[in-house]
Amino acid sequence: MSYRIDIATDSALRCFSRRRFLSQAMGAAVAPCLAAATQEDKEKLPVVPKRVERAFKSPCRQPNDLQFVPEGLWILDQVDPNKALLVRPRDGSVIREIQTESIHGSGITFGNGSLWIGSTKMADPKDPPRTLKVDPTTGKTLRSWVTPGAGVWTKGANATPSGAHGLKWVEGKYWMAVPASGKLYLMEPETGAIVRSIPGPGVRTHGLAWDNGYLWCIESNDRAIYKMDPKDGKLLARIQLTREDPEPHGLDISEGVLWYCDASERPGTGGWVCRLV
């Protein structure tokens, strides 16, 4: 299903002033100008051949992002209010779960001893989407920041605020995919400041992974995972999934193998955690 995106306005996000929104959406620094890739550009990219292997059915209903840590694999459930589950990657058995304050969360990563979660909505619908720093033991929100570039996803006649759809910790900072802005942001975690931004690979960017100096980013509408240059957002290659495969939402990498999850509830494919081999 395709989505149209409208960037946030004062009426849609009342607490988010136009001046503040524009300043945050532009970012403290923007990578050298690179036009967003067209569909024709994407189709010309080298295709990395991969086969989808279903690893396990998620213990939560709507697994929306993944993050590997030494103890196991964190899965963020999109069912509100969101739980985060630490599981064993070999079979999906639960080590522990925490209740978070995230609403419709779509991104999770780990760094500085904390979980970082992109809450795409808030308990009070008048509030703008925020990024949460979360205690991985209790689920308590330690701090939060307004998500830069947040805006309004329009699906038919319904418009609701939406924030980050993928986070990934990299060398003391984290990358964040924000579909409404069409950008990926590199963030200072403890201040919420934007280091810089690059164009995303489409209008429905989602999970992120970091591998040997390159970003991998899901574009759910394309059912593709794009390899990107983090300096300027240039697309370098793609992994193409089929309509029969579970839909790509969350993403991470472990020992050189990309893993993804499907938060949809589509019969036969929804709720799976998969490996690309």
CATH number reported for the structural domain that contains residue 100 in this entry:
2.120.10.30
Per the model's pLDDT, the better-predicted residue between 216 and 16 turns out to be 216
Query: What is the domain extent for residue 134?
Result: 4-276
pLDDT tens digits along 129-160 = 999 999 999 999 999 999 999 887 655 556 66
Residue with tokens 């929804």: 270
Given this model, what pLDDT does residue 258 score?
A: 99
The pLDDT tens digits of the residues spanning 71-113 come to: 999 999 999 999 999 999 999 999 999 999 999 999 999 999 9
Give backbone dihedrals phi and psi of 26, rounded to 5 degrees, phi first: -70, -35
Q: Range with the lowest mean pLDDT among 60-64, 158-162, 179-183, 229-233?
A: 158-162
Count the Cβ atoms, other than its own, within 10 Å of residue 102: 33
Q: Which residues contact 115 (CB under 8 A, 6 or more apart)?
A: 67, 74, 84, 100, 108, 109, 133, 134, 135, 136
**4 against 232, higher pLDDT:** 232
- Alpha-carbon dihedral 242, 182, 8, 122, rounded to 10 degrees: 60
The H-assigned helical ranges of the chain are: 18-26, 39-43
Quick check: 238 pLDDT over 60? yes
- The percentage of residues in the chain with a pLDDT greater than 90, rounded to a whole number, is 78
Structural domain tally of the chain? 1
pLDDT the model gives residue 156: 59
